[in-house]
Structure 1
């Protein structure tokens, strides 16, 4: 639309920041990191531009005690690893009942071991992360998780075995993660999963909502009404029940520091509209 500039700029705010002050632009649509989105919004404030943002996430994936555990864990691990973990809505926090934690960890490790770097096996193949800066950031967050006492059960620092070039990250899983740990709070944007045990549904919801992000959420249960009840309590712009995929007729976007904009469907169009009143027409 005229007067709108669209920026899909990852973590670099430079272009969006400069355009945010451009006189002929009425609105900035930004997709990228929360850090860059904040810089764009600050720059846009001086000329009172509208800013629609789709930013970061740290989405919780709540598996209830009646879930089909092998299927749910497999779906969750592959969802986290997809696109080398570079998805803002990736289910990077897997919350499982404490009594099922060990079983879920064992299944997750089996799934992670199947992830490969061979394009001839597209169902389980992942590529490198975007660049050296992102590779180094992921390595630092893995190292920080180890220092904070998270239990490494798969992957770790460095490139995968047999891979000597490219910014490939080992599919990494931490178990017995505490909600206060950095690996449970910061967006990694790499193939790194944190498995967090919980003792009650109420605690699971508290852990899921205890985040500066609010983009997406996931709930798995054999009882759809139970899943719906949990979904209603999540402070996220989207929730996927029982592995359901996104629908492009529905709005895509989040709460809190995950942004204030919406994409897709009617809401996605309305984001770019302005209202005019003509009196006496």
Structure 2
């Protein structure tokens, strides 16, 4: 792996069929959100180049599908090890193009995806590729060519969550990362090649959604499209894929509730709730951005929140003391500011933060961590995903507390994640079973604590699941072989 400085550089090529192919597309600037400076360019692939990548994946698929599962899994495991080996350099790349503090990115943005790949390889060994039934057997077979469209906020993790299960399933992949933070994907393509993954099995196409992305999704040779992104993007992908009856897996947005029951230990709850809401400056689809609290503890919780949030340190992503970096772009910061201003005009009460830029950080797309209370279910702040460092506190009456807390938690169209806090874990689990969300975390457990647990959502949060054996399910066809 090259040094980190060499990875933050202009790229004019796409990785297609096991070789770097110079693109005819115009260059897209990659901006460092902490400095507001362009640090690199990548190609805006043409529709023809996207189709060429699918052609390469189609050509590579028969041999890859015929490769024994154990061998496919070993390639995935080796790729995970390669990510781990390049962790320091990759964390620096993430800090540069995403803005997450490097010391935090090292664990969350590199070592977690490395472990996702290894966990997926292990899951492949236990996966029910063949199951007996009364008149024969059920077989799970590779679906075919997969298009993986990944976001900018947790780029390597989302690539790993799609690439690993697709590869162990026997599928070949065309990866289209976000053009906002694509440099890490170039590094991954190089590592996949070094790991010995055969030509055409993994292909990389950078570019915009309306051109490269839509060309990939429209291609009738594609068996599965797996996208992580906004609800709008997911709806567009589903619309385009429907023309060819192409299967889609959509991991979309969230407005997730963190439910505090009346016996919860606040010394643990408040620091964890702040971390769960403001991780990666709130740019996480599963961020717990609504803190649902009992009325009789509301004031104490708010006092603790103000103290904890006010102490958070915003700063340069390469500063070891920084806890929050900038937002990804000027556009994203303006979107978040719009949500804050709307909440103020709607009558929510701001406890700390605000839309103004931090006075000590005049350069960079920084946004102060912000907390509101008085956020009723009808307000936009209670219903719309902000994707920034904004936490909404919602209080429920003390009696009958648990039922009303569940109602409040379920009062959005999303259902990606949730949290429940109680001194009694069984009580917390009982509440968790009633929350309509794909992943409910009890007393501070994190997604990364169980990377074999399925991840995905109800309602507008998407279709399908990622991680572990459930992630492999998305990339297989099921055949009944009778007789």
Same fold (TM over 0.5): yes
The answer to whether structure 1 residue 245 and structure 2 residue 387 are counterparts is no
Shift of the alpha carbon at 1:120?
3.7
The question of whether the paired residues in 2 share the 8 Å contact of 1:16 and 1:30 is answered with no
Change (3 A) 1:161 1:71: farther
The count of residues paired between Structure 1 and Structure 2 equals 279
Larger Rg: 2
The answer to whether structure 1 residue 139 and structure 2 residue 337 are counterparts is yes
* Range with greater deviation from structure 2 (14-23 or 77-86): 14-23
Q: Give the secondary structure class of the aligned counterpart of 2:462.
A: coil
The answer to whether structure 1 residue 149 and structure 2 residue 352 are counterparts is no
2: CA distance, partners of 1:16 / 1:77: 35
Gaps of 5+ in 1: none
The question of whether the paired residues in 2 share the 8 Å contact of 1:13 and 1:37 is answered with no
The question of whether the paired residues in 2 share the 8 Å contact of 1:56 and 1:187 is answered with yes
Shift of the alpha carbon at 1:13?
4.4
Residue from 407, 410, 423 that aligns with 1:209:
410
The TM-score with structure 1 as length reference comes to 0.95
Match of 1:268 in 2: 471
- Cα displacement string for residues 58-105 of structure 1 (whole angstroms, at most 9, x for unaligned residues): 100000010011320221012111101001001100011111111111
Report 1:83-162 matches (<5 A): 83-118=280-315, 119-122=318-321, 125-162=323-360
Q: Give the secondary structure class of the aligned counterpart of 2:375.
A: coil
2: CA distance, partners of 1:127 / 1:52: 30
Match of 1:166 in 2: 364
Shift of the alpha carbon at 1:19?
1.7
The question of whether the paired residues in 2 share the 8 Å contact of 1:13 and 1:39 is answered with no
Shift of the alpha carbon at 1:279?
5.0
Match of 1:188 in 2: 386
Change (3 A) 1:9 1:81: closer
Match of 2:146 in 1: 4
Greater helix proportion: 2
The answer to whether structure 1 residue 32 and structure 2 residue 222 are counterparts is no
- Cα displacement string for residues 14-64 of structure 1 (whole angstroms, at most 9, x for unaligned residues): 243332111221110000111111111111111110000111001000000
Residue from 429, 446, 453 that aligns with 1:228:
429
Match of 2:219 in 1: 22
2: CA distance, partners of 1:269 / 1:166: 39
The question of whether the paired residues in 2 share the 8 Å contact of 1:215 and 1:237 is answered with yes
- Cα displacement string for residues 116-173 of structure 1 (whole angstroms, at most 9, x for unaligned residues): 1235445x61111111211111000000000000000110112112110111111000
Change (3 A) 1:13 1:185: farther
Q: Considering only aligned residues, what root-mean-square deviation do their CA atoms show, in Å? A: 1.6
Task: Give runs of ≥4 in structure 1 deviating > 2 Å.
Answer: 9-18, 118-122, 276-280
The answer to whether structure 1 residue 218 and structure 2 residue 416 are counterparts is no
Gaps of 5+ in 2: 1-141, 153-177, 179-207
2: CA distance, partners of 1:64 / 1:13: 42
